Structure 1
Amino acid sequence: MTAYRFRVKFDPDPTSLWRDIVVGADRTIAEFQSAINPAFGLDQGHLWFIGGDEDYWDCAVKYQCPQEYEESLGGDPVLRTERIENAGDVTIGEMTRQLGLEQYDRICYLYDYGDEWRFYGILKEVLSDEPSDTEPIVVKEKGDLINDQYEPSRVDESGPPLPDPLYSVLPETAVPVADLRELEEHEDIVHVIPLLSIETGFGAVCERFAIQFEETGYILENFQPGWQIVEEVDGANKTEEEFLAALADAVREWHAEIAEMSGAMTGQHFGEETVEAMHVELEAELERKGYGHLL
């Protein structure tokens, strides 16, 4: 009884285009891949492989599509610099053990060796109560399907529009914390939670915050050249408190992902203590609002 939830992200635009896919441990890597492409709007007519971390062509282990694996059996193994496995034979559970995957570790997926569509998957959750034969299914998503697979331009540089009233309120730079708190006076905004505040000579400004509308919540990060939505939380059929708890969980996941991305970029390891330190403002805001029991 084990399944895995991977967040598969489009490498060139990971904050705007991703899919959460749950797949059972006994399903093969090829079955997992068969759910990825249609989820993003890609065809299935090209070669592909899945590997560890974000190493792509430099992966020490490559799980090749069955077609390529069968065609490469005649090659000289002495000339290979990596281990080759058949994605049609290896299960997801076997892959996680072979690669030593733990929560928030990554795999990479490269599709079409000509155009090189690159994705990476983050192991977000191990579901010990789900059947091991669970078919791969998309359970959460962000971003539209890719409808220009054979066009040269793939990334929407404009980014997703911000929900009202944020689109007209937020500047392209950090926003004063006091201005964020005033947003709670809008009748359609339930909670605003500053997550990364910096003291300046003009007062505290915020570089990251969460906002809860009546049915949708967002986590926003101040990237260059401006604010971007990095997580979206569905609040339908939830009480206000259940919705806030789900939004807080999404913040914690985002903080863990930031630590993972920072570690990959710098070569350093940021452990649980670093992630816990990132939760300080979240916990203080929940206490201030009377929701300390959600910590």
Structure 2
Amino acid sequence: MTAYRFRVKFDSDPTSLWRDIVVGADRTLDEFQATINAAMGLDQDHLWFFGIDEDYWDSDVKYQRPEEYEDLPSGQPMRFGEETYTAGTTTVGEMVAQLGLDQYDRICYLFDYGDEWRFYAILKEIIDDDPDDRAPEVVEEKGEQVDQYAPMGKEGPLLPERLRKLDLPETAIPTADLRALEERDDVAHVIVLLSIETGFGAVSERFMIQFDDVGYLLENSPQGWEIIEEVDGEDKTEEELLSALASAAREWHAEIAEIASAASGQVFDDETVEAMNIELNQELERKGYGHL
């Protein structure tokens, strides 16, 4: 009895759009793919394949849409030297065994050879007590579905209005400026999470900000500030909302370690995560919430 939990991430925006899907070992890759597309907002009108890691077209092994595989003469590969299999009969368990996947290893998924919707999936958990025939199911998710046929050049969503009113710079922000935000009537807490010393003083590339009814965990990226997590505080006390934000930050730090481990081949363990949490714990202690 084995099932697998994959975190399927949108390659273009992996922190804002992902789905956790649990699927039994005996379910086919075709079934797994159908669940991914339905969860991400994509139709089934195009060719696709699964591959190794984040290699996409460069993957030496491809699990293809059954109709494409059947149309290839004698199972001829898409390019010289690669192995191809049909996703119609290959099970998830067979793929895991063939690729030698361990926890936190990755596979890639490319849908539509023209527009190239790219996703990668991290094997987050191997579940030994789930049925082999468990149907693929989304068990956790973040982010809105993609707009498959949106006009080219359409901009993504802006930050919420109350964040835009803060006039955050597109790059890292001085920590002194962040802490000054707490002087605003509508801001309850600001927690600096990733500060870097520069010749002009400390700047931050990750922080939490808490309003009366909502909190945000934000990170700076090449595209500017992005919301990693939004926590609804409508039914929470001020301390409960701050606690939920702190938990979200710790989970994000653990995910960063997982991603770094998979990408580099090095092991970033709990000690690494705790090191990332030091600044969070110090900030909470400074504000009198060291028990959170």
Report the TM-score when normalising by structure 1: 0.77
Map of 1:23 onto structure 2: 22
Q: How much is the aligned-residue C-alpha RMSD, in angstroms?
A: 3.5
1:66 has 2:66 as partner = yes
Does the residue aligned with 2:74 lie in a helix, a strand or coil? coil
String of CA shifts for 1:184-232, please: whole Å, max 9, x gaps.
4556545432111123455432111123445544321222353222333
The one-letter code of the counterpart of 1:95 is M
Sort the Cα spacing of 1:224 and 1:291 in 2 relative to 1 into closer, same or farther, 3 A.
Answer: same
Matching residue of 1:211: 209
Change in Cα spacing, 1:242 to 1:35, as seen in structure 2 (3 Å) is: farther
Query: Displacement, 1:281?
Result: 1.1
Where does residue 157 of structure 2 map in the other structure?
160
Is 2:128 aligned against 1:137? Answer: no
Instruction: Name the amino acid aligned to 2:209.
Output: I
* Contact preservation (8 Å) 1:5, 1:20: no
Contact 1:104 1:256 in 2 (8 A): no
Q: State the match for 1:283 in structure 2.
A: 281
Distance 1:4 1:209, change over 3 A: farther
In structure 2, relative to structure 1, the CA distance for the partners of 1:69 and 1:102 (3 Å cut) is same
Rounded Cα–Cα distance in structure 2 between residues aligned with 1:141 and 1:71:
36
* Structure-1 residue corresponding to 2:253: 255
Q: Which amino acid aligns with 1:91?
A: T
* Worse-superposed segment, 247-256 or 112-121: 247-256
Give how far 1:67 is off.
1.7
List per-residue Cα deviations over 1:104-146 (Å, max 9, x = no partner).
4322111122332222223344556765514322632213431
Residue 64 of structure 1, CA deviation: 1.5
Residues of 1 paired with 2:33 and 2:131: CA distance? 19
Cα pair 1:24 1:130 within 8 Å, conserved: no
Query: Any residues of structure 2 matched to 1:10-159 within 5 Å, and which?
Result: 10-16=10-16, 18-26=17-25, 27-72=27-72, 74-76=74-76, 81-126=81-126, 133-137=134-138, 139-148=140-149, 151=151, 153=152, 156=155, 159=156
SS at match of 2:158: coil
- Look up the SS of the partner of 1:279 in the other structure: helix
The DSSP-based 3-state class of the residue aligned with 1:247 is: helix
Superposed displacement of residue 258, structure 1: 4.0
Q: 2:32, 2:234 → 1: CA distance?
A: 28
The aligned counterpart of 1:194 is 192
Letter in 2 for 1:142: G
Pick which of 256-265 and 110-119 moved more: 256-265
Contact (CA 8 Å) 2:106, 2:262: kept in 1 or not? no
Instruction: State percent identity of aligned pairs.
Output: 61
| Contact 1:148 1:154 (C-alpha < 8 Å) held by counterparts | no
Q: Which of 222, 225, 228 matches 1:224?
A: 222
Mark the runs of 5 or more structure 1 residues left unpaired by the alignment: none
- 1:264-287 residue CA offsets vs partner (Å, 9 max, x unmatched): 77x563622544432321232344
* Letter paired with 1:168: K
> How far does residue 49 in structure 1 lie from its aligned partner after superposition?
0.8
Per the normalisation by structure 2, the TM-score is 0.78
Name the CA shift for 1:243/1:94 in 2 (closer, same or farther; >3 Å).
farther
Q: Is the 8 A contact 2:24 2:130 kept in 1?
A: no
CA deviation after TM superposition for structure 1 residue 54, in Å: 0.3
CA contact (8 A) 1:177 1:204 kept: yes
Q: 1:171 to 1:116 in 2, by over 3 A?
A: closer
CA distance in structure 2 between the aligned counterparts of 1:243 and 1:130, rounded to whole angstroms: 34
Is the CA contact (8 Å cut-off) linking 1:160 and 1:228 kept in structure 2? no
